[in-house]
């Protein structure tokens, strides 16, 4: 039995052991992220909204998710934005750190928005859309197929997986990561590596890789060019849209 074929319970255990130290200190990580992002002149909300807005534009016109998984939700900021962007959807934030999840529950849990641990996630094929940002570079490469399989099994047939990662080909990204203690030893994934990872673990890649966040605030007058450069490997982050067959 290969790692990507492990039962769901073992997969969740692999992911939890790989990331629990990071996300048990999620609030500290959040502060470090803020310091690292100073180079861009923007705060984390700018990037969170930018990712979700680009994702929404790339989903099929008739695609209306009823249930969304935010995998590696941390303190729940993006989970809450998903609930605002898709007001008819149930949104579940999933993480390994109970401390971070408790913070998220106290701040924004509701009838449509809930938070649970990775070990409590049921890979029951009930989600229409899964999202992950900046988590896989913290998962050891040998355990990444297990994480992909857990997400795949959580999705319904035809469900989409939006995989966002830091672009290691961007010098600014590498500089920001070097300023964040948790990211200094991270094992980044290049866009081709990420595409191979998803394709090897059951996802159909439905579109070219997209690159976001090219110009910092002091060059914001040039941001009108970014949609024209979205397929050039220049932006600080990239993302891939996969589909469960």
Please tell me the distance from the alpha carbon of residue 11 to that of residue 5, in angstroms, as a whole number: 9
User: Tell me, what's the pLDDT at 207?
Assistant: 94
| pLDDT score, position 33 | 66
Q: Is the pLDDT of residue 6 over 70?
A: no
Q: For residues 121 and 132, is the Cβ–Cβ distance under 8 A? A: no
Q: What is the pLDDT of residue 9?
A: 41
The per-residue DSSP string of the chain comes to --GGGS-HHHHHHHHHHHHHHHHHTHHHHHHHHHHHGGGGT--HHHHHHHHHHHHHHHS-TT---SEEEEET-TTSHHHHHHHHHSTTSEEEEEES-HHHHHHHHHHH--SSEEEEEGGG---SS-EEEEEEES-GGGS-GGGHHHHHHHHHHHEEEEEEEEEEEE-TT-HHHHHHHHTSGGGTT-----HHHHHHHHHHTTEEE-S--EEE--S-GGGGGGGGGGGGGTTSTTSSEEEEEEEE-
Confidence of residue 32 (pLDDT cuts 50, 70, 90): low
pLDDT score at 25: 58
pLDDT of residue 27: 61
What's the pTM value of the predicted model, to 2 decimals? 0.89
What's the domain range around 133?
A: 3-244
Residue 82 pLDDT exceeds 70: yes
Confidence of residue 2 (pLDDT cuts 50, 70, 90): very low
Query: In this predicted model, what pLDDT tens digit does every residue of 124-171 receive, in sequence order?
Result: 999 999 999 999 999 999 999 999 999 999 999 999 999 999 999 999
Mean model confidence pLDDT for the chain: 88
Number of domains in the chain: 1
Q: The CATH number of the domain where 58 resides is what?
A: 3.40.50.150
* Residue range 185-234, pLDDT digits in tens: 889 999 999 999 999 999 999 899 999 999 999 999 999 999 999 999 99
């Amino acid at each position: 039995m290969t790692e990507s074929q492990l039962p769901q319970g073992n997969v969740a255990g692999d992911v939890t052991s790989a990331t629990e130290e990071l996300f048990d200190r999620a609030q500290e990580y959040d502060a470090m992220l803020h310091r690292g992002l100073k180079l861009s002149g923007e705060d984390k909300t700018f990037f969170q909204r930018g990712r979700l807005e680009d994702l929404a534009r790339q989903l099929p016109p008739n695609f209306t998710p009823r249930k969304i998984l935010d995998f590696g939700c941390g303190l729940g900021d993006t989970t809450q934005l998903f609930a605002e962007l898709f007001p008819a959807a149930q949104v579940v934030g999933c993480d390994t750190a109970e401390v971070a999840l408790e913070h998220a529950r106290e701040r924004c849990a509701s009838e449509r928005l809930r938070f649970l641990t990775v070990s409590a996630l049921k890979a029951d094929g009930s989600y229409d859309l899964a999202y992950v940002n900046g988590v896989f570079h913290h998962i050891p490469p040998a355990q990444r197929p297990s994480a992909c399989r857990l997400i795949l099994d959580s999705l319904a047939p035809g469900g989409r997986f939006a995989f966002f990662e830091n672009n290691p080909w961007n010098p600014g990204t590498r500089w920001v990561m070097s300023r964040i203690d948790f990211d200094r030893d991270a094992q980044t994934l290049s866009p081709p590596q990420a595409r191979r990872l998803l394709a090897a673990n059951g996802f159909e890649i439905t579109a070219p890789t997209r690159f976001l966040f090219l110009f910092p605030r002091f060059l914001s007058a040039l941001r009108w060019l970014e949609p024209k450069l979205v397929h050039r490997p220049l932006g600080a982050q990239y993302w891939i849209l996969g589909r469960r067959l």
